[in-house]
Amino acid sequence: MQNFDELLKRVGNTPQIPLSPPNNRVELYAKLEWFNPFGSIKDRAVLWMFKDAEKKGILRKGHTILIEPTSGNTGIAIAGIARALGYTAELVVPAKVSEETKALMRRLGASVLETEDDLCPRVGPDTDQCIALAKSIIKARPGKYVMLDQYSNEANFLAHYESTGPEIWGSLKDLTHFVAGVGTGGTLTGVAAYLKKKNPNVKVIGVQPQKSHHIQGLRNLEESMMPELLRRRLDLIDEWIKITDNKAFEAVRFLAESEHLFVGPSSGAVYAAAQEVAGGLSKGKLVLIFADDGRKYWSLYNKFKVFTKEDFEYYLHNARYLPKNILFSER
């Protein structure tokens, strides 16, 4: 394994690339967050939350165990960043989290506590119980376990206010729309607050999945609790668009075929929402967040017939902008 200290210096400053526009009235740009060292946008939030907790003296190296209820990218980021900074991480995950994801967490050095699916389903209505379970472990061992609590931690918002937002503004000052998915709302509110401070006319579009969805990382706010972080700044969101699993998966396939981009399901949902927005505009420049790439989603894409095994391998090998990283050293 590489030097983990070095990896932390590579959080942020991800590429923002032009996509083929759906019509000649708009321009589309995607910010490719899988260029972060542990493979997703969550590296930003997790690094900021660790640094904030260290500053507040909450963490003790060699003693504190970081515990977090998570089924995806936050867990991978916590595993990697805890290791880089010298902490132990335990991740509470539902049993049905994909083997790919659990293996990545373990490879980065975290313990993975598997819970029954009915206590902690991967996505969907009862995700909140996962949080309750982690909280009860903390209560039983006060002082030993610390939860960064991405759903209410202001450092999650600040990560995007201080890094993602300025990076987008720095590369495109005349953008008109920002489109991103909602999990904790950290990305959406952090970037929105920064962009609107620079230009109050920028429109912010939040993307939600359907109920009982299969889009890891995103949240349907009718069936899942609204995260505290989002509630604090809900007024920054100008429009919400709901995307079905089918539409998101169609977009994943379209991006592989037409743009040679190998994206994760939440990027598909964001792209599908941007198409809807673009269709109604007479002029615009849209920036989209592509939160992670498709490499850890074979079992999902197989289950929902997004790709055959041959297609998955083909698009993977022919993808643009897909660097090797600590999670995937092979193409």
Ligand X SMILES: Cc1ncc(COP(=O)(O)O)c(C=O)c1O
Is residue 75 at the binding interface for ligand X, with CB under 6 A as the rule?
A: no
Identify which range of 5-13, 101-109, 162-170, 181-189 contacts ligand X by CB under 6 A.
Answer: 181-189
Residue nearest to ligand X (CB): 217
State the Cα–Cα distance between residues 35 and 70, nearest whole angstrom. 21
Cβ proximity to ligand X: between 69 and 72 the closer is 72
Is residue 39 at the binding interface for ligand X, with CB under 6 A as the rule?
A: no
Q: Are strands 88-94 and 145-146 parallel, antiparallel or unpaired?
A: unpaired
Cβ proximity to ligand X: between 284 and 294 the closer is 294
- Cβ neighbors of 93 (< 8 A, separation 6 or more) are 69, 70, 71, 75, 101, 102, 105, 112, 113, 114, 115, 120
Binding-site member from 31, 42, 214, 296 for ligand X (CB under 6 A): 42
Is residue 291 at the binding interface for ligand X, with CB under 6 A as the rule?
A: yes
Identify which range of 98-106, 136-144, 180-188, 244-252 contacts ligand X by CB under 6 A.
Answer: 180-188
Q: Is 61 known to be catalytic?
A: no
Is residue 206 at the binding interface for ligand X, with CB under 6 A as the rule?
A: no
Cβ proximity to ligand X: between 50 and 143 the closer is 50
State the Cα–Cα distance between residues 71 and 291, nearest whole angstrom. 15
- Cβ neighbors of 210 (< 8 A, separation 6 or more) are 220, 242, 243, 244, 245
Is residue 275 at the binding interface for ligand X, with CB under 6 A as the rule?
A: no
List 42, 203, 285, 296, catalytic entry: 42
Among candidate residues 227, 264, 228, the one with its CA nearest the CA of residue 248 = 264
Identify which range of 165-173, 215-223, 243-251, 300-308 contacts ligand X by CB under 6 A.
Answer: 215-223
- Which residues are catalytic, by number? 42
